[in-house]
């Protein structure tokens, strides 16, 4: 049951983290007032969140399948 909750909860958590990471700079992106270095830094944060979320999802899927089988 725990692994099933993890499989469902991790994508929701990743989407929430991405939303809050982007909410800080959303207005600056729309008005083209964001600096290039900050844009690259934000891209690095987004990629890190996606990679960590993907690894966590793969581990939880593996554990769910190992538990079921």
Residues 2-18 pLDDT 10s: 878 888 888 998 988 88
| pLDDT score for 31 | 78
Structure confidence at residue 27 as a pLDDT band (50, 70, 90): confident
Residue 29 has pLDDT above 80, yes or no: no
| pLDDT score for 69 | 82
Q: Contact 65/4 with Cβ under 8 angstroms?
A: no
pLDDT digits (tens, 9 = 90+) for 44-59: 888 888 999 999 999 9
The helix (run of H) or strand (run of E) holding residue 38 is helix 36-68
- Give the Cα separation of 26 and 58 in Å (integer): 30
């Amino acid at each position: 049951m725990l692994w099933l909750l993890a499989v469902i909860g991790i994508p929701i958590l990743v989407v929430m983290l991405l939303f809050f990471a982007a909410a800080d700079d959303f207005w600056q992106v729309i008005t083209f007032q964001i600096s290039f270095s900050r844009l690259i830094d934000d891209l690095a944060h987004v990629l890190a969140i996606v990679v960590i979320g993907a690894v966590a999802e793969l581990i939880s899927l593996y554990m769910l399948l190992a538990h079921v089988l």
